[in-house]
Structure 1
Amino acid sequence: MTQPIPDVLAPAKLGPVTLRNRIIKSATYEGLSRDNKVTDALIDFHVRHAAGGVGMTTVAYCAVAPDGRTDRKQILWTEDALPGLRRLTEAVHAEGAAVSAQIGHAGPVANPKANGAPALGPSRHFHATTTSFTKAATRADLERIIKAHGHAARMAIRAGFDAVEIHLGHNYLASSFLSPRVNHRDDEYGGSLENRARLARAIAREVREAVGDRIAILAKFNMDDGVPGGFWLDEAIQVARWLEADGSLDALVLTAGSSLLNPMYLFRGDVPLREFAAIMPQPVKLGVQLVGKRFLKYYPYEDAYLLPLARQIRAAVKLPLVLLGGITGKPVMDVAMREGFEFVAMARALLREPDLINKIAKDPQASSLCIHCNKCFTKIYGGTSCVLVQP
C-alpha cells in the first residue's frame, strides 16, 4: 500500500520535537552577532522568520571552538553567551516556532587572521580567500574538537534550543576530512572512505551521547563538493548509511558545494562578482576582479535543483531527510513530500519574504519574489538580508 503524502503545512515529529509544519529556515550566517554573543538584531532576525510561519528557524553559525570561526564575531559556546541565547530561543518560542543551533568547526574555511590561530584541515592547503595555508590537524586537535561538539550540544539544551544541526558540509572541518581532494592523510583519518568518515561519525556520536533524546540532532551533509576529485554522491550514499546505522542523527539536511573550492555550486543563479569583490580585502579583491569567474562559477537556477542528487540518498536510507535548494513555494514542497522527504529547508526565498509561509498557508499558489540574484550572499558580514527589501 502506498503511504499518504504528508501535508507540508501540518505538524510533524523531528526526533523528540514536534514542529508546527515541515518547513525549516535553513542556516544562513546572519552576520549579526557581536563579540561572540547574541544581539537584539539577531533575535529580531529569527523572530521575523518565526512570526512568518516556519516550523523551525536555524541559528548560524555557532562555532564550537575559537579557531573554528569564519568570522571573529561569531557566537561561541561560553557562559557569557548563554543569557543572549536564552533570550533568542524564548523569543522564537513565543512566536510558535522551534529553533535549532548550527554547531561546527570551520576547519580550512576558518579565518586564521581574524581568529589569531591557524586554520585546521586534514592536510596543508592554501585558502585563496584568506591567502593563508591551513595547518594539518593533530589527533589532539581532533579529540578536542570532537569533545567541543558535545559541549556545544549540552549548552544548546541549557539555552533552550529544540535541536542542533551539526555542520558536516561545505568543506568545513568534518567535510574536508571526507573529501579526497583535500584530505591527503595517511593515518586512521585518511585514505579509505571509512577512515575519511571517521571524524564526522565521531562528532555525531559525541553529540548523541551528550544530549540523548532531549533535543533533535540534524546534520548538514554534503552530497557533492562540486569539484573534480572531491567528495561525491557514491561516497555520500555510503556515509549516509553509516550515519544512519550509528543512530546518532534524527535527520540529514542534504547540501552540496565547497566554501573552500566552489561555493556557487550551492548558490545556483546569478554570480554577483562585482559585489563580492567589493567586500573582500586586498589582495583578494584584485584576485576576484581578475580571475573571479574561475572561482565563482555560474550554475543555472531551477526549482528543487538538488533533488536529483538527494533522490539517490533517499533511495539508500530510511533516515528522515531535509531537501533544500530551490524550495520556493508549495508546488515544489509537495514534490519533495511525494518523493519521500520529510522536511524542506528554505533560505533565500525567506530572506526576500520572511512571511512567505504565512502567505502560502493562505494561498497555496503564492509565488516567491526571490529572483536568485545572490546579492544576499555578499551581505553576510554586515547583516544578511535581501538587497531588494528596504530596511
Structure 2
Amino acid sequence: MQVDAFRPATLGPVQLRNRIIKAATFEGRTPYGLVTDDLIAFHRELAEGGVGLTTVAYLAVSPEGRTHKQQIVVGGSTAPGLARLAQAVHDAGGRISGQIGHAGPVANGRSNGAHALAASPMPSPLSMQMIRSATARDLARITRAYAATARTLVDAGFDVLEIHMSHSYLLSSFLAPGLNRRRDGWGGSLENRSRLARQIARAVREEVGDAAAVIGKTSLSDGFRGGVTLAEGVELAQMLEADRTLDALQLSGGSSLMNPMYLFRGGVPLREFAAAMPLPVRLGMRTVGSRFLKAYDFEEAYFLDKALEFRKALTMSLVLLGGINRRATIERAMSLGFQYVAMARALLHEPDLVRRLEDERRGVGACIHCNRCMPTIYDPAGTHCPELVDLRG
C-alpha cells in the first residue's frame, strides 16, 4: 500500500504531521551570528505553511566551522535564541531540525578570524589563505563539539539533528579521495575516509539517545573528479546503516567548493553571484565563473535515478531531495519506497506550498528554478526569491 505523504509519520522518536521536509538553505538572517526575529519569522511561516519539519541551516559546531562570521555557532550565547526559534515552530504545529556541521574547506578563514581546516592542505579561493590539514587533536575536539552542539539543540527544544556530511564540508572533505590525500588512519580506503563521519554520528547518537531523531545528509555523488562516486556513496550509506546511529539519510549531491550547480540544476545566476561578491572574487567570477558554475538542465526529481540505487541497497529510511515541487512527484517518491521528500527553492517561492498541495488547490509549485535565490544568501534582506519580489512589484 502506498504511503500518503500528507499523513502523520514517525521519524525515529519524533512524530511529524507529514513527510515533507524543508531542506536546509542558509537563511541569511543572522548578521551577528545570533537568532533574530526575522529568522524566527522565516521558519514560523514555513511551519504555518504546512511542512512537517523545517531545517535551520548551517549551525556551526565551532567558530572556525562557520562558512563566514554571520553564521550561528551553537553554544551558551546562542541557546536562548535557538529555544525561542524552536518554540515558535512548535506553536505553529511543525517540528524543527538543526543542521549541524563544520564547513571545513568551505569556510572563509578571513571572515571567521581562524584558518579553515580540511582533510589535507589546500589553497582557499574564499580567503586566499592556505587551508590547514586537521590534526588528530583537531578531530577529537571537533567530535566533542558535535556532541555538545547536539545536546544544546536538544535542550533548546529541537526535534531532529541533521549531520552535514556532504557538499565538501569537513566530513565530506575527508570522504572525497581528491581532497583527502592523508596517509594516516584518516585517509586511503573508504573505510578510513569515512571514519570521521561515522565517529561523529556515533558521538551525537550517544549524547542524545532517543531524545531526538538523528539524520545524515550524505552525497549521492559529488559531481567532480576526485569526489565521492555513486558506488562509494552507496557503500558509505551501507556502513552508516550498519552502525545504527542514524534514523534516516537525506540524499544530496554536489560540492559547494568544486561544483555547486550539480546540486541545484536549472538557471545559472552568474551575473547576480558576481555582483554579490567582494571585488577580487567578483573579478574572478566574471572570468572563470562559467567553469565553476557549470550549467545542468533542470528536470523534476533530478537525483531520483541515483537515489534509487541507494533505495535498492538499504532498508533504512531515505529522504529524496532535488527539484521537487509537484504533488505527483511526491506521490511517486512514496510509491518507490522513499519515506520523506525534501524541498527548498519551491518553498522559498511559496512558503505555504505544502498546504496548497495537500488541499489539492494546486498540483505544482510556481518556482521556475532560475536559481536567482542562490546569491541572495549575501543580501541584507536575507535569502529570498527575487522572482517573487518581482511579481509583487
1:316-375 deviation line (CA, Å, top 9, x unaligned): 111100000011121000111011000000000000000001111111642211011101
Any conservation in 2 of the 1:375–1:386 contact (CA below 8 Å)?
yes
The Cα offsets for residues 197-217 of structure 1, whole Å up to 9 and x where unpaired, read as: 000000100000000011000
| Structure 1 residue 304 displacement after superposition | 0.5
Structure 2 equivalent of residue 124 of structure 1: 121
Choose from 298, 316, 320 the match for 1:319. 316
1:267-287 deviations in Å (ceiling 9; x for gaps): 100000000001111211111
**Pairing 1:92–2:84 present:** no
Which residue number corresponds to residue 378 of structure 2?
A: 381
Residue in structure 1 matching 2:18, options 4, 8, 21: 21
Return the alpha-carbon distance in structure 1 between the equivalents of residues 88 and 76 of structure 2: 20
1:80 Cα offset (Å): 1.5
**Alignment of 1:66 onto 2:63:** yes
Counterparts of 1:278-289 in structure 2, within 5 Å, are 278-289=275-286
1:213 to 207, 210, 213: 210
SS at match of 1:322: strand
The separation in 2 between residues aligned to 1:346 and 1:201, in whole angstroms, is 26
Equivalence for 1:75 = 72
User: Do structure 1's residue 109 and structure 2's residue 106 form an aligned pair?
Assistant: yes
Distance 1:336 1:130 in 2: 40
Following TM superposition, by how much is the alpha carbon of 1:79 offset from its aligned partner in structure 2, in angstroms?
1.1
Match of 1:186 in 2: 183
1:234 aligns with 2:240: no
CA distance in 1, matches of 2:36, 2:88: 13
Structure 1 portions without partners, runs of 5+: none
What SS does structure 2 have at the residue aligned with 1:321?
strand
TM-score, length of structure 2 as denominator length:
0.97
Question: Could you tell me which residue of structure 2 aligns to residue 39 of structure 1?
Answer: 36
3-state secondary structure, aligned to 1:75? coil
Question: Is the 2:268–2:371 contact (alpha carbons within 8 Å) kept by the matching residues of 1?
Answer: yes
- Counterparts in 2 of 1:360-375, with a 5 A limit? 360-363=357-360, 365-375=362-372
Distance across 2 between alignment mates of 1:377 and 1:265: 13
Counterpart for residue 8 of structure 1: 5
Cross-structure match for 1:50: 47
Q: How does 1:113-192 map to 2 (within 5 A)?
A: 113-192=110-189
Q: Counterparts of 1:233 and 1:364 in 2: how far apart (Å)? A: 38
- 1:133 deviation in Å? 2.1
3-state SS of the aligned residue for 2:386?
coil
Q: Which amino acid aligns with 2:115?
A: P
> For the structure 1 residues 105 and 25, does the alpha-carbon distance in structure 2 shift closer, same or farther, using more than 3 Å as the test?
same
Once the two structures are superposed, what CA deviation does each residue of 1:144-201 show, in whole Å capped at 9, x if it has no partner?
A: 1111100000001111000110000101000010000100000000011100000000
Cα deviation per residue 1:262-321 (whole Å; 9 max; x = unaligned)? 001001000000000011112111111011110000000000000111111111111100
- What is the aligned residue count? 388
Residues 264 and 323 of structure 2 are in contact (CA less than 8 Å); yes or no, is this contact kept in structure 1? no
- Structure 2 letter corresponding to 1:95: A
1:389 is paired with a residue whose SS is: helix
Cα 1:44/1:172, change in 2 over 3 Å:
same
Q: 2: distance between equivalents of 1:80 and 1:128?
A: 31
8 Å CA contact 1:50, 1:92 repeated in 2: yes
> Quick check: 1:330–1:364 contact (8 Å CA) kept in 2?
no
* SS at 1:59 equivalent: strand
Q: CA–CA distance in 2 between the matches of 1:272 and 1:143?
A: 39
Distance 1:99 1:366 in 2: 26
**CA separation in 1, counterparts of 2:325 and 2:124?**
33
Of 191, 195, 198, which residue of structure 2 is paired with 1:198? 195
The answer as to whether partners of 1:30 and 1:381 remain within 8 angstroms in 2 is no
CA deviation string 1:99-125 (max 9, x = no partner): 000001000001100111110001111
CA distance in 2: counterparts of 1:259 and 1:9, whole angstroms = 32
User: Cα gap change, 1:203/1:364 in structure 2, threshold over 3 Å: closer, same or farther?
Assistant: farther
**Change over 3 Å in CA distance of 1:41–1:315 after alignment to 2:** same
TM-score w.r.t. length of structure 1? 0.98
The answer on whether the counterparts of 2:24 and 2:56 sit within 8 Å (CA) in structure 1 is yes
